[in-house]
Structure formats: C-alpha cells, structure tokens
Structure 1
Amino acid sequence: MIRHIVLIKFQPDVAEELIESLFQELRSIRDQVSGIGEIVSGRSESPEQIERGYMHGFTIDFESWEALEAYQTHPDHKALGAKLVANAIGGIDGILVLDIPVSA
C-alpha cells in the first residue's frame, strides 16, 4: 500500500467551507479511479502546534504505485490540484506531498 500525504498552507482568506468543498471533491475522485482506499482530510488539531502554517491536509491510501499513477494522471485530480495550488500560500510552494510505502 502507498500512503499519499498532502499538507496545505491555505491563504488566510480561504474560508473553511471552500476547503471542505475541495476535500469533498477529492473524495468524489474515489469513484473515478480504482485502487483508492481510505481518504482522510481535515484541519490540524495538534496539541504540539508545530504545523508551520500547514493547517490542512489529507491522506489517501492506494493499493499500488500504479493506482497512485492513475490518480495523478486523472483529469479530476489535475483540476483539483489546480484549485489547491490557486488557494495555497505561494501556489505550489504552499503544498507538501509525501508518498510512503506502508506494510500491511
């Protein structure tokens, strides 16, 4: 399994309602791409408070690298990615992505 981790520094004027609608859009991609498992998204509630501005994020579990690639090249993902970049501080510089193999 591959865990896709995305952290986002949204611009200060981006409403929580817009962020939630973007996360809903993310969940709708699951119906379009096979090999997607659990999707978790939200705002950090860390008691450590060391987010460094990355207050929102999501994880997606993929069955394989091939499933992740199918997601990355899907037009719905590209459209959502453009919206995330448009609403992040500094554009793409306001987004971190990690893909980590996870043993079951």
Structure 2
Amino acid sequence: MMKHIVLLQFKESHTPEEIKHAFALLEGLGKTIPQIKSFKYGKYDSNEGMNHGFDYGFEIEFDNAADRDIYLFHPDHVAVAGQVIPMLRHGTDSLVAFDYDPAKGL
C-alpha cells in the first residue's frame, strides 16, 4: 500500500465553500482514476499547534507506487491541481506532499 499525504495552506480570502469545492474536485478524482483506493480529508484539529500554518490535509491510498505514479501524471489530476494550487497562499510552496509505504517500514 502507498499513502499519499498532502498538507495545504489556503489563502485566507477563500471561503469555506470554496475550500469545500476544492476538496470535492480532489475527491472526484476517484471516479476517473481507478488506482485511487481511498480519499480522506479534513481541517487541522488540534490544540498542539504544530501544524506550521498548514490548515487542511488529505490522504489518498494506492495499492503501490506504480499506481500512485499513474495518479500523479493523470490528466484529470493535473487539471484539478491546476485549479487548487492557485488557491494556496504561495502556490506549491504552500503544500507538503509526503508519500510512504507502511509495509516497508524503515
């Protein structure tokens, strides 16, 4: 299994409805990219304060790295990213993507 975790910093000018729409676009990729096994997202929710300004995140699961790579370069993903990235505070500098395979461990 491959987990693709992305943390995002949206511009403060975006409404909750606009942000919800961005996540609906991302979630909708599961309909056109069969390699996506699950999609979960949410807003930062901790008193710890260790989010470093990243206020939203999502996680996508794939069977393997090859399936993740199909998603990364799929035209539908590229199109959605082209709509979401301009909503971020500093473009791609306002996101962190972290992929790992829990079965591999260290």
TM-score, length-normalised on structure 1?
0.92
Task: Report the CA distance between 1:62 and its aligned residue.
Answer: 0.6
AA matched with 2:7: L
2:21 paired with 1:48: no
Partner of 1:66 in structure 2? Answer: 66
Instruction: Using the TM superposition, give the Cα deviation of residue 80 of structure 1 relative to its aligned residue in structure 2, in angstroms.
Output: 1.4
Q: Where does residue 5 of structure 2 map in the other structure?
A: 5
Superposed displacement of residue 85, structure 1: 1.4
Residues 45-76 of structure 1 deviation map (CA, whole Å, 9 limit, x = unaligned): 11212211100010000111111111111111
1:1-104 equivalences under 5 Å are: 1-103=1-103
Looking at structure 2, the residues matched to 34 and 67 of structure 1 have their Cα atoms a distance apart, in angstroms, of 9
What do you get for the CA RMSD once the two structures are aligned? 1.4
**Runs of 5+ unmatched residues, structure 2:** none
- The answer to whether the Cα contact below 8 Å between 1:26 and 1:80 also exists between their aligned partners in 2 is yes
1: distance between equivalents of 2:103 and 2:40?
Answer: 18
The number of equivalent residue pairs is 104
TM (norm. structure 2) is 0.91
Q: Quick one: percent identity of the two aligned structures?
A: 27
* In 1: Cα distance, 2:75 partner to 2:69 partner: 12
Q: Following superposition, which runs of at least 4 residues in structure 1 exceed 3 angstroms of deviation?
A: none
